[in-house]
Structures are given as structure tokens and as C-alpha cells.
Amino acid sequence: MQAYKDWVRSFWSNSSNPEVMATAFRILAEKIHPLVLGDAFRSGQQINMLAKKLLAFHQKNDEEITRIVEKFAHGFTTHDYPLSRTEVRELLGEEQVPHPDPEEMDLTWELFCGFAEEMKLRENFSPEAVFNEPADSNQPQGMIQVSLQLARIESSTRSTVLERKLRITRAPL
């Protein structure tokens, strides 16, 4: 419960009107259980702590670490905000994000193209199209199972794929 109170206090502390904060707290608590909100706040704190620890391996200035973590944790409106190399260089500095070697860029692009082909990144996913493919005789009528590759991590010794299996049921017409 304390984490929930801290969360509300930290996000609505800019309001000079205590009534606004009390109303916001009441409305939020009516919609979402306080323990869930407190857990979300603790998760955010944990992410910030981990980010600061990781940055400390590369950056010794605590103020700079805090600035970077704040920017990444609160400076973008969505998780899928695309960061360009230029923007990251402005944020982290030339030392952390040097200009790439042309050969390195070509190899990186070649690697990406291989992943894109293997993971079918350029193909639109259409459940309707999948239903038009030959059916697996082990699946119930009107249901299909599809495997999608969501991520791949490779090293010189290992390859790991995050795959998600989806079961799609066709609604009766």
C-alpha cells in the first residue's frame, strides 16, 4: 500500500491543489486495485535502479546517469519509440555511440536482412490467409495453430529464438 501512496505522491506532486490530488487518488483507486498500482510503481523503481547500475559500468558521473535514466524511463511516450543513432548519440555522447565503420554497417545490414527473411518481417500476418492454407489434420475444425518468431539472439556458440504459438479460432459465420 505504501508503494501506491508513494506513486501517487510522485506523479501528482506538482499539483498545488490538494483536492486535485485527493480526487485523482480516489478515481484511480476505484478503477485499479491499489496493490496493482503499488506493484507497478515498484517495478518502475526496480527498472530505474537496474538501469543506473548498468550505466555505472560505462559512466561515472551520477548526475549524467540520472539524466539518461530519466530520459529513457520518462522521456518517451511509448515503448515503441524508434531511436535513431543520432538521437542516441546526442543522449549518451560520442564516446558511447561512435560513428560506425562502413564495413561494420554493411555487415549489420546483411545480418538484419537475414533475420528479416527468417522471421518473415516483411510479410503481413493475416489469420484469414492462414485459414486458407491446407489444414493440419491434428487440429480441430475451425482452429489453427501458428508459430511466430518474435526475437532471436545469436552468438558464435548459440542461437536462441523467442517463439510464440498462437491458436486462432474462426468464428462461425
Express each pLDDT in 23-40 by its tens digit: 777 887 888 888 888 888
pLDDT number for residue 134:
64
Tell me the pTM. Answer: 0.51
Residue 164's SS3 state is strand
The overall average pLDDT reported for the chain is 81
Q: Cβ distance 8 to 28 under 8 Å?
A: yes
Length of the chain: 173
The helix (run of H) or strand (run of E) holding residue 53 is helix 34-55
Higher pLDDT, 16 or 1: 16
The pLDDT of residue 159 is above 80: yes
Per-residue pLDDT tens for 99-112? 889 999 999 999 99
Cell numbers standing for residue 44: 518502475
Q: Cβ distance 118 to 152 under 8 Å?
A: yes
Residue type, 15: S
**What is the distance of C-alpha 124 from the center of its chain?**
21
The per-residue DSSP string of 79-112 comes to TTPPPPHHHHHHHH-TTTSPPPPHHHHHHHHHHH
Q: Cβ distance 69 to 46 under 8 Å?
A: no
Distance CA 68, CA 70 (A): 5
Cell 527468417 found at? 118
Burial 64-98 (b: 16+ CB within 10 A, else e): ebeebbeebeeeeeeeeeeeeeeeeeeebeeeeee
**What is the distance of C-alpha 63 from the center of its chain?**
25
